[in-house]
Each structure stands twice: as C-alpha cells, then as structure tokens.
Amino acid sequence: MAPRALKDSVRPRRLSGVVVRPLNFTVRGRVLAQLVYETTDADFADRAIQALRDAKIPCHRTGRGYHSQSLHPGKGSTEDQVCIYIERDTDCAEANRILIGLGAVVERSPPLWLIAGIVLVAAIVAIWAAVAWNS
C-alpha cells in the first residue's frame, strides 16, 4: 500500500493509508504536535522521520505499522497505523515537501467541473423521476 501526501496540506485519515491535515490542539496556551502524515508502511515512516530530523524539523511518530519483511503484515487495526507528528506548525509546508520527495503520492481533489456535472445529472434524474411519478 503506497503512502500518500497532499499537494498543499494533509487530510483526515483514510483507510488506504493516507495523509491527514494538520490538526492544532492547544492545551493551556501551548500548541501540541500536529499530525502531518499517517500510513501503515513503517519502513516509509522510518525514512520520513529520519528525513524530517535531518531537516531539523522536530518530529516524532506513534504506532507500529508493519514492515515489508513482516510475516503478518497489517491486521487492519488502528495499531497498524503510524502517525507522524511535527512540533512546529511553521514546518508543515517543508514537512509536506519532504514527504512528497520521499515518494508519497499526492492526492488531488476532483475537478470542480466533475462535481458540478454529477450534481447536474442528479438534479435531472430527480426532476425526471418527479415528472414520471406524477404522470
């Protein structure tokens, strides 16, 4: 399963081992670490943590993930998730650049024309069904 990162920021977790958007949590005036990446690929997470530290970005990880050499890779539980956190929100853009440079897949939102087209088709089908129902 390929790890993923977003173009401009990270997004909420998805089942396919993707990225999440930065989350700011403040406790008694202190900003806590931001979750910038989530994956089940522990090998990728290890490389990412090392690259972030090499760039002098304070970071840490939680979770165990699974390694490619594991006999039982991933059980589909939250224990298989590796979360990468950065300590300073000002490092978010640089952290994303590093993750993408390591080979993380960039996710893009669907084009606006596609969303508008789906809404238009749904509206046409609803109108057609209403007219057919009243006939």
Q: What is the pLDDT of residues 82-112, one digit of tens each?
A: 889 999 989 999 999 999 999 886 777 888 8
Distance of CA 6 to the CA centre of its chain: 7
Say whether pLDDT at 27 is over 90: no
Distance CA 116, CA 130 (A): 21
- Write down the domain spans for the chain: 4-109
Say whether pLDDT at 9 is over 90: no
Rama region for 113: left / alpha / beta (φ>0; ψ in -120 to 50; rest): alpha
Distance CA 34, CA 51 (A): 17
Distance CA 51, CA 45 (A): 10
**Arithmetic mean of pLDDT, 50-61:** 95
CATH number of 4-109: 3.30.70.790
